[in-house]
Chain A
Amino acid sequence: MRATDVFGFASRALRGHRVRTGMSLLGVSIGVAAVIALTALGEGARLYVVGQFASIGTNLLIVLPGKTETTGGMPGFGGVPNDLTLADAEAVVQAIPEIEKGSPIAVGTETVAHGERRRQVAIIGTTHEMLELRHLSLAQGRFLPPLEWDRGSPVAVIGTTLSSELFPGESPLGRIVRIGEWRMRVVGVLAPRGEQLGVDMDDVAIVPVATAMKMLNRRSLFRVLLQVRGHAELDLARDKVTRLLSERHGEEDITCIAQDAVLTALDSILGALTMALGGIAAISLAVAGVGIMNVMLVSVSERTREVGLLKALGAGRGQILALFLTEAVLISSAGGLLGLAFGWGAVAALVAMFPALPATPPTWAVGAALALSVAVGAGFGVLPARRATRLDPVAALAGR
């Protein structure tokens, strides 16, 4: 018996029962669509979070004052960390060859005013290197000029929201704003960026770090961002930074985090979440398989006479098995393809509703869902097909 004939016979038998075939096909397609939509959701969440971190820059070390480990000592005795100073930051960048560049960061909140308009925003004090380290881009003008780190300058770069609030309908470039008691000249406007790890980068004022520390009355930096030359040197560089700063402070009172470590952990957690979502959705595929089995059992008992006839005409057991098994696989694989279409539709709808979420079903999930749908038909089709092959031809011809 030829494969095309098996296929033709099975598909015509299915077309004889459109509603029933359609229903069991729908069952499979819902299962496949669920796998695709849910894994797309999980994958979207993963890509979103990873993207957030990656936008801060790659191969980054973050140095922050204070030790995150609790030592359990008495409060007040050696518990106050030393300041993380600009001099510390400069020493790290100059003394450690693995560090390509660095950028100190001081933060605070201050009122920015132009004429009668005033707005309370986050002030970020940093240096020229920040532009590259955090992948910032400018809508107008330029970023902070390259200066000695300990030299201040009365210039500021502002976010787009701040710009349109203070200078509605006009260009802020070259204009003077008041930040606290300080008069600063606006030299650039950041391109719209949105929220980045909790800070709305559209509503900030960026000023030279030395100026910011005076303006905000800070002696310690908030963070130092360090870019390492290569990914392989990340751990080495971190050790060197920790050692150097411990020497300078006389104790280990800073924390140095590798950006990638956080990223890798989140990536694997969210990847596992996606797998779990897919697994839960796959259960509905198994349920659909039971549906197929049910439909095929009904079909076999309805077509008992036909099976008897096929045997009388000389169909072998293997051929009858192949015919009924092909019917089951046809239902399940057609359902799988339909479910793929449904799933893509659901994902497209999701993306339309939440454009920020990069939801696409991972390739492995699409492949697995389709393979599983075919396997479901084959697996759950075996029992009914075997029942057909085992029918006694005499009884079957009599319709018993």
Chain B
Amino acid sequence: MIRLSGISRTYQVGDELVHALADVTEEIDAGEHLAIMGPSGSGKSTLLHILGCLDRPDAGTYELLGREVGKLDETELSLVRRHTIGFVFQFFHLVPRLTALENVELPMVFAGLERSERHERAMGRLQAVGLELRADHRPDQLSGGERQRVALARATVLEPKLLLADEPTGNLDAASGRQVLALLRELNATGLTLVVVTHDPAVARRARRVLVLRDGLVFQRVDGAHVHEAVEALSRDENGP
């Protein structure tokens, strides 16, 4: 489903060039559950942004569902983001003045769906995350876990093929985090391709496959079950001679 080859991304920070990603080549199959790990500055967020078509690589090609993303113009990219990709962020990013229901409706507003259809589908998604009774609440009236579940409902309401989660439990307590992870897993079980960026081994462990990045390069590819050994190897390497 996804084919990355030779992806690199360089930022200019002051006078210095920072290589956030240097030559990443990877394939992700449809329906896969992939975790991306690595210390801060390893390039995992940059990779996620490129996967989400929010950022463009400086070199290399990105093929999504058989289309080369680098050749799409701004309008086509926004359509890909709208219909093919769902985002979940660490800081939820709900629009504060809109209710939970209206937040979930937003992607459908951009798609130009009719009000009644929007309402029905948004309510359905809220029900799926167990928040149908909170539909009229604004984000500041919801707990962190509830906010992330609203964000999850919003990310999936247009039935995307790919769900990208950036530290989805990073701002949640353990119980809410588990709830959100369970929901992600459920979605993955229905065939949705899931890519989670995390620094938490407990989160990465649930993925079938883990990509460990370091300095913009893939350091290791491991099974979810062996994530702890990979983390140890990484820290040994960092702290080693």
Q: Interface residues, chain A, CB within 8 Å of chain B?
A: 1-2, 5, 9, 12-13, 15-16, 305-306, 308-319, 393-394, 397
Contact = CB atoms under 8 A, between A and B. Distances in A.
Nearest to B81: A314
A304 to B, nearest CB: 12
Given A1-B109, A1-B112, A394-B55, A315 B78 contact: yes
Interface string B144-173: 000000000010001000000000000000
A387 to B, nearest CB: 16
A361 B228 CA distance: 80
A313 B98 contact: no
B111 interface: yes
A316 B78 contact: yes
A1 B55 contact: no
B152 to A, nearest CB: 13
Contacts of B74: 316-317
B193 to A, nearest CB: 17
16 contacts: A2-B112, A16-B97, A305-B93, A306-B95, A308-B93, A310-B106, A310-B110, A311-B54, A311-B78, A312-B81, A314-B78, A314-B107, A316-B75, A393-B54, A394-B54, A397-B93
B93 A13 contact: no
B111 A394 contact: no
A59 B237 CA distance: 107
A170 B110 CA distance: 84
A313 B89 contact: no
B93 to A, nearest CB: 4
Closest 7 A-B residue pairs measured CB to CB?
A314-B82, A316-B78, A314-B81, A393-B54, A309-B93, A313-B107, A312-B87
B49 interface: yes
Given A2-B112, A319-B110, A312 B52 contact: yes
A1 B112 CA distance: 4
A47 B111 CA distance: 56
A397 B78 CA distance: 15
Interface of B: 49, 52, 54-55, 74-75, 78-83, 87, 89, 93, 95, 97-98, 106-107, 109-112, 154, 158
Contacts of B106: 310, 313
Contacts of A315: 78, 82, 110
Most interface-central of A306, A308, A310, A312 (chain B CB within 10 A): A312
Given A311-B54, A394-B49, A394-B54, A316 B110 contact: yes
B37 to A, nearest CB: 20
A151 B79 CA distance: 99
A312 B54 contact: yes
A365 B182 CA distance: 65
B163 to A, nearest CB: 12
A296 B177 CA distance: 38
Contacts of B78: 311, 314-317
B110 A1 contact: yes
A178 to B, nearest CB: 87
Contacts of A13: 97
A13 B106 CA distance: 14
B118 to A, nearest CB: 9
Contacts of A312: 52, 54, 81, 87, 93
Nearest to A17: B97
A292 to B, nearest CB: 20
A308 B81 CA distance: 12
Given A13-B97, A306-B95, A313 B112 contact: no
Contacts of A318: 75
A5 B154 CA distance: 17
Contact of B89 (A5, A12, A397): A397
A365 to B, nearest CB: 38
Contacts of A5: 109
A135 B76 CA distance: 76
Most interface-central of A2, A313, A318 (chain B CB within 10 A): A313
A311 B81 contact: yes
A397 B52 CA distance: 13
B105 to A, nearest CB: 9
Contacts of B110: 1, 310, 313-316, 319
Nearest to A312: B87
B84 to A, nearest CB: 9
A313 B92 CA distance: 13
B180 to A, nearest CB: 18
Contacts of B80: 314
B154 A313 contact: yes
A319 B110 CA distance: 8
Contacts of B52: 312
Contacts of A306: 95
Contacts of A397: 54, 89, 93
B161 to A, nearest CB: 13
A315 B77 CA distance: 10
A272 B112 CA distance: 50
Contacts of B95: 306, 309
A308 B54 CA distance: 9
B120 to A, nearest CB: 16
Contacts of B82: 313-315
Contacts of B93: 305, 308-309, 312, 397
Nearest to B78: A316
Given A314-B82, A314-B83, A316-B78, A12 B98 contact: yes
Contacts of A319: 110
